[in-house]
């Protein structure tokens, strides 16, 4: 069993992400979107795999051009839109359970990732964002002379 570094802020970041999702869902519900464009929050897996952090998001029936991946500060932002098929003759739905419309998810990045090395790929309805970890070089101790 490997050694896991203790992160005193981990639970706080997880709580912040949950609060962000709650506020995003609330805002989206009240945005005046048409009925068929309900709240859609694509599911996400985030895990560490050796020297990188991997984010996988299920975005079926979303065109690659309709997805944006950005890093702002220490947050990863993923947004996009799943469009409802529109035509002159609208089908007579018997059931419409899948959500459509815009989505926006944000995640606090763990300490020690390299945002400059971020890369993303899109395959079979799954967006994969890979963030390499920074070199885990040993910490140095620096003595600072205090004058006064």
Domains of the chain: 10-85+97-132 (2.60.40.790)
The pTM (predicted TM-score) of the whole model is: 0.65
Instruction: Give the separation between CA 140 and CA 148, rounded to whole angstroms.
Output: 25
Task: State the CB neighbour count (10 A cutoff) for residue 78.
Answer: 21
- Write the pLDDT tens digit of every residue in 68-100: 999 998 899 999 999 887 766 777 878 878 888
Instruction: Give the separation between CA 132 and CA 124, rounded to whole angstroms.
Output: 23
Task: Write the DSSP string, 78-145.
Answer: EEEEEPPP--SS----S---S--EEEEEEEEPPTTB-GGG-EEEEETTEEEEEEEBPP-PPP-----P
- Write the pLDDT tens digit of every residue in 8-46: 888 888 888 888 878 776 655 544 444 434 578 999 999
Instruction: Give the separation between CA 12 and CA 8, rounded to whole angstroms.
Output: 8
Percentage of the chain with pLDDT > 70?
82
């Amino acid at each position: 069993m490997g050694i896991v570094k203790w992160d005193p802020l981990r639970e706080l970041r997880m709580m912040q992400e949950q609060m962000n999702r709650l506020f995003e869902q609330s805002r989206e519900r009240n945005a005046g979107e048409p009925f068929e464009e309900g709240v859609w929050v694509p599911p996400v897996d985030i895990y560490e795999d050796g020297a990188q952090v991997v984010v996988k998001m299920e975005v079926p029936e979303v065109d690659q051009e309709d997805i944006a991946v950005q890093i702002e500060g220490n947050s990863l932002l993923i947004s996009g839109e799943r469009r409802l098929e529109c035509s002159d003759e609208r089908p007579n739905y018997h059931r419409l359970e899948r959500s459509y419309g815009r989505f926006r998810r944000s995640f606090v990045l763990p300490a020690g990732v390299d945002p400059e090395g971020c890369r993303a790929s899109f395959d079979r309805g799954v967006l994969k964002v890979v963030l390499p970890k920074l070199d885990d070089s040993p910490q140095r101790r620096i003595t600072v002379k205090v004058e006064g």
